[in-house]
Amino acid sequence: MKSERRHELQKNDLEQALEKGMEQMGPQAKIVAGVIIAIVVATITVTWLQYQNKVARASGWGELFTASALMGQQDAKMTPALEAVSSAYQGRPSGAWAELFLGYDLYRQGLEKYFSQPDDAKLDLERSIKAFDNAQKAADVPELKQRAMWGIGQSSEVLATKESIQTAITTYEKLSTQFPESPFGKWAGERLTLLKSKDTEEFYTWYHDQDFAPKASPTSGILNQDLPSDPNLTLPSRDALTRPGDGAGMLNTPINLMPDNAGLPQPGEGDLMPKPESPAAETPADSAAPSAPPTAEEKSAEAKPAEEKPAAEAPKSEAAAETPAPAEEKPATEEKPAAE
Compare 282 and 236 and report the one with higher pLDDT.
Answer: 236
Compare 177 and 9 and report the one with higher pLDDT.
Answer: 177
245: helix, strand or coil: coil
Q: Are 152 and 136 in contact (CB under 8 A)?
A: yes
Q: Are 163 and 200 in contact (CB under 8 A)?
A: no
For domain 73-209, give the CATH number: 1.25.40.10
Distance CA(139)–CA(101), nearest Å, equals 13
Compare 19 and 299 and report the one with higher pLDDT.
Answer: 19
Distance of CA 74 to the CA centre of its chain: 19
Q: Is the pLDDT at 314 greater than 50, yes or no? A: no
Compare 203 and 20 and report the one with higher pLDDT.
Answer: 203
pLDDT digits (tens, 9 = 90+) for 179-216: 999 999 999 999 999 999 999 988 988 888 887 777 66
- What does R_g of the chain's alpha carbons equal in angstroms? 60
User: In the chain, what are the domain boundaries?
Assistant: 73-209
The two counts, helices (H) then strands (E), for the chain are 12, 2
Stretch 91-117: mean pLDDT: 90
Give me the percent of the chain exceeding a pLDDT of 90.
25
Going by pLDDT thresholds of 50, 70 and 90, the confidence category of residue 138 is confident
74: helix, strand or coil: coil
Indicate the range of 107-121, 129-143, 147-161, 219-233 predicted with least confidence.
Answer: 219-233
> How far are the Cα atoms of 33, 36, 53, 60, 325 from residue 46, in angstroms, in the given order?
20, 16, 10, 21, 142
254: helix, strand or coil: strand
